[in-house]
Structure 1
Amino acid sequence: MTKRLPPAKRDDFGWFAGITLRWNDIDIFGHVNNARYYEFFDTTVVGFLHEADLGLGTGGAAMVVAENGCRFHREVKFTDTLEMGLRVEHIGTSSVRYGLAAFVNGESSAAADGYFIHVFVDPASKRPMPFSATVRNHLSSIQTDPA
């Protein structure tokens, strides 16, 4: 049996975004539904990409999600303050792997953590295409050292 890794730590992330929880994020058990975390991941990544004027989705490269995953460490409730941490773990030629974590109420250990892989594609052919130096530089600004 593989030993479960501990939750991600706040200090391991270089960019943060606040997420406002909505009543419909909460399931019948009184906590944020597991599927919502993927929406939080997407919102965080897109927010980071749009922070810089990269021209994504406006005739340049488009992005598709190739893979994602999430581990849950503790529940998040409607009354919690949620902040998402983001880091870039690997930059390829046309893909990037992000690490993400959900932090509640200013805690240093993540309530949930995971990853998200984007592939940059040509909008017409839908085939992978290298991203620009501008995109690479923006991604590099929050890249972590490889483990």
Structure 2
Amino acid sequence: MTTPTVSHGAVEHTPVHFDDLDAMGILHNSRYAVLVERAVSQWWADRGVSFSGGRPTSPDAFNAVREYAITFHRPVSSVGDIAVHFWLAKLGTTSADYRFRVTSPDGTEVYAEGRRVNIRLDPATMRPAPWTDHARDLAGLLLTD
């Protein structure tokens, strides 16, 4: 499988399954958020920031989506892998401002693009909490600046 070469951020491949398609045979609009979630989560998990046994492997894994916006350009009309290209436009004290593109596996067709903001939470208070130095180091790999 060909992975697009990008100048910033990361690309993760994720599958579109038959049950992701709607009655018209195209990827249901709600599934784009799931595909982006899977791609971003996989990237962080590959670097030790995930969940195991229902518990976070790092305090930075405990975060929630605060904002999500997407613009659709053309429908995904088949099952199989797609690529999600994502990067960080900004890393704040408690927030991570992502941008993303959902593309064909080789990156030549853009199906959708958007923005997603995550907030790191303190699991005890459910209030925003600062990212750790470890997360900041990893996030540096995704920042566009």
Tell whether the 8 Å contact from 1:10 to 1:85 is kept in structure 2 after alignment. Answer: no
Shifted more, 46-55 versus 85-94: the winner is: 46-55
Q: Which residue of 1 aligns with 2:10?
A: 15
Matched, 1:60 2:59: yes
Q: Which residue of 1 aligns with 2:45?
A: 50
Provide the alpha-carbon RMSD of the alignment: 2.1
Q: Which residue of 2 aligns with 1:82?
A: 82
- Structure that is richer in strand per residue: 2
The one-letter code of the counterpart of 1:17 is: E
CA distance in 2, matches of 1:41, 1:105: 14
The one-letter code of the counterpart of 2:115 is: Y
Residues 55 and 103 (structure 1), Cα distance of their counterparts in 2 relative to 1, 3 Å cut: closer
State the shift of 1:59 in Å. 6.7
1:85-113 CA distances to partner (integer Å, 9 max, x unpaired)? Answer: 11111100011011111111424342101
Q: Which residue of 2 aligns with 1:122?
A: 122
Segments of structure 1 that go 5 or more residues without pairing to the other structure are 1-8
Matched, 1:99 2:99: yes
Residues 11 and 109 (structure 1), Cα distance of their counterparts in 2 relative to 1, 3 Å cut: farther
Q: Which residue of 2 aligns with 1:111?
A: 111
1:32-68 CA distances to partner (integer Å, 9 max, x unpaired)? Answer: 0110001011111111211212466247241011011
Tell whether the 8 Å contact from 1:10 to 1:103 is kept in structure 2 after alignment. Answer: no
Tell whether the 8 Å contact from 1:76 to 1:111 is kept in structure 2 after alignment. Answer: yes
Residues 20 and 138 (structure 1), Cα distance of their counterparts in 2 relative to 1, 3 Å cut: same
TM-score, structure 1 as length reference: 0.83
Q: Which residue of 2 aligns with 1:4?
A: none
Segments of structure 2 that go 5 or more residues without pairing to the other structure are none
Shifted more, 59-68 versus 49-58: the winner is: 49-58
Residues 118 and 109 (structure 1), Cα distance of their counterparts in 2 relative to 1, 3 Å cut: same
CA distance in 2, matches of 1:114, 1:12: 18
SS in 1 for 2:29: coil
Tell whether the 8 Å contact from 1:121 to 1:128 is kept in structure 2 after alignment. Answer: yes
TM-score, structure 2 as length reference: 0.84
Aligned length: 137
Q: Percent identity?
A: 22
